[in-house]
Amino acid sequence: MAVISPNAPTAELQALDAAHHLHPFTHGAGLRDKGARVITRAEGVWLTDSEGERILDAMAGLWCVNVGYGRKELAAAAARQMEELPYYNTFFQTTHVPAIQLAAKLAELAPGDLNHVFFASSGSEANDTNIRLVRTYWAEKGEPQRDVIIGRWNGYHGSSVGSGSLGGMKGMHAQGGMPIPGIHHIDQPDWWSEGGDMSPEDFGLARARALEAAIERIGPDRVGAFIAEPVQGAGGVIVAPETYWPEVQRIVDKYGILLIADEVICGFGRTGNWFGSQTLGVSPHIMTVAKGLSSGYQPIGGSIVNDEVAAVISGTEFNHGYTYSGHPVACAVALENLRILEEEGVVDRVREETGPYLKARFEELADHPLVGEAKIVGMMGSIALTPDKATRAPFAADAGTAGYICRERCFANNLVMRHVGDRMIVSPPLVISKEEIDTLIERARRSLDEAHAQLTEQGLM
C-alpha cells in the first residue's frame, strides 16, 4: 500500500487532499483552487503547519482543546486503555470500568441532581439522543403528544439530521430536508444585530418572552422541551442580555417543560465555571456535553440528565444507543482530561486570572475603527465588525464579506480566529498564558488594521 509521506511537499499533500477528501462546511471547488493549510503538529496553544509556520490557535481547534495540545498524559491514558481493553460495548447488560468511572465523575462535577449520563461520540449524537430522551420521557409520563422541542434561530446543536433540526442555521436547513417535524424555532437574543432601538435589557426580556408566546401558540400540552446554548457559539458568540436567562427559567418552570442546556462549547471551563449554566444561573434538566470533555483528544459526548428524567426513562427499555456509547478509550482519555482540568486548577484560573486578563485585553479592541462591540465570557468572545459603531450598521457588502477578509488577514498573521458573518471569534485553549494572550491581541489588532485598510481600499467601509 502506497501512502504519501508526511514530509511530502505541501503542494503534493494539498493535491491529494483535493483529489480525495471532502471537507466539512466547505465550498469544495473553492478549496481545491486554493489548497488547504496542512497542520502537522501542535503544542500548547501553538499549531505548526507543513511549511514550518507556528500559528497561535485562538479557537482551540473547534472550541475543544481546553487543556491545550501535546499533553502526554492523555496519550498515555489512551495507550494504557488500548492495551487493557480497547473496546467493549455497554449494551446487553454489560459495562466496563472507564464508563463507570467517567459517569460517576460527571455526576460529581455536574450541578444539582444531574447525576446520570448517556454516552455518545459527539455533540450531534448527544443532541439526537436528547430528542429521543425528551419524547420517550413524555410518552412514559402519559403525555406522548408533548413531542415538540423549541430551539432558536442561529442556535447550533450539531450537523446530523436531528441535531441540525434543533439548531436554527437556515443554510443547513436548506440542504437535506431539515428541520424534521416537531421542532420549532424562536428568535435569538442577539441585541447587536436585532435589538434595534430597544435597550439590551428590554430586548433580552422580549426575546425570552418569545418562548412563552411560542408555547402558547403551539399549545402548552404539546411542548416537551426548550434547547439552547448558554452562550451561542457557532452563531457568533452571542451573549444574551442579563435579563434573558432568568426570564427563560421562569417560563420553563411555569410550563413544566424540560430545559436542555447545550454545553458542548460552554462546558468544562470555557465560561469560567465547569458549566455555562452555572455562569448564567440556570438549572437545566438535561445538559449536552462533548468537545472539552476530552479536550478533543478523543471523540466523546453525552447527555447528562437529572434524577427525575433518569427515573422515568429507566421505567422502559430505551431503544437507542451507539456502538461507541461509552467507548473505553474515549472514556479513559476524558477522565484523565478532567483530572488535569481539576488538579491543575484550570477552571479556577480562567475564572479568576487569565479570563479577566483576556477580557480586559479583548475589550480594548473595541476602540478599533472597524469594531463595534467586543463581548467575552470566560474564554469565549467575539467582536462585531461594522462600518458605523454608532448605528451598529451592517456593511453594504454581503454579510460575511468583511469577516472573511479579516479572517484571512488573521491567517496570514499566523493567528487562527474564526469569522461568523461579520463577527470575529476567539475561544483559545484554557491554558493560554498572559504572554500568549498579549500575542493574540497584538496579532488580532494588526489583522484588523490590515482588514480596515483593505475594506477602505475596496470602498466597503
Residues that bind ligand PMP in the complex, under the rule CB under 6 A:
62, 122-124, 127, 156-158, 229, 233-234, 262, 264-265, 290, 301
| 3 state SS of 32 | helix
Q: Using the minimum distance from each CB to ligand PMP, give the nearer residue, 157 or 419.
A: 157
The residue nearest ligand PMP at its CB is: 123
Query: What is the layout of strands, in order, in the sheet containing 380-385?
Result: 371-377, 380-385, 423-426, 418-420
To ligand PMP, the closest distance from the beta carbon of 311 in angstroms equals: 26
To ligand PMP, the closest distance from the beta carbon of 322 in angstroms equals: 12
3-state SS of the chain: helix, strand, coil percent to 5?
Answer: 45, 15, 40
Largest CA distance in the chain: 66
To ligand PMP, the closest distance from the beta carbon of 63 in angstroms equals: 6
To ligand PMP, the closest distance from the beta carbon of 122 in angstroms equals: 3
- Give the H/E segment covering residue 116: strand 114-120
Q: Using the minimum distance from each CB to ligand PMP, give the nearer residue, 234 or 310.
A: 234
Find the Cα–Cα–Cα–Cα dihedral 354, 355, 358, 360, rounded to 10°.
-110
Q: Which positions ≥6 away from 352 have C-beta within 8 Å?
A: none
To ligand PMP, the closest distance from the beta carbon of 205 in angstroms equals: 24
Q: Using the minimum distance from each CB to ligand PMP, give the nearer residue, 127 or 306.
A: 127
d(CA 286, CA 319): 19
Cell, residue 26: 466547505
Q: Using the minimum distance from each CB to ligand PMP, give the nearer residue, 285 or 368.
A: 285
Q: Using the minimum distance from each CB to ligand PMP, give the nearer residue, 63 or 138.
A: 63
To ligand PMP, the closest distance from the beta carbon of 352 in angstroms equals: 25
How many angstroms from the chain centroid is the CA of residue 174? Answer: 22
To ligand PMP, the closest distance from the beta carbon of 9 in angstroms equals: 31
d(CA 276, CA 274): 7
Cell, residue 331: 472514556
Q: Using the minimum distance from each CB to ligand PMP, give the nearer residue, 289 or 448.
A: 289
To ligand PMP, the closest distance from the beta carbon of 416 in angstroms equals: 15
Q: Using the minimum distance from each CB to ligand PMP, give the nearer residue, 98 or 235.
A: 235
- If you write DSSP's letter for every residue of 362-418 in order, what string do you get? HHHGGGSTTEEEEEEETTEEEEEE-SBTTTTBPPSSPTTHHHHHHHHHHHHTTEE-E
Q: Using the minimum distance from each CB to ligand PMP, give the nearer residue, 14 or 427.
A: 427
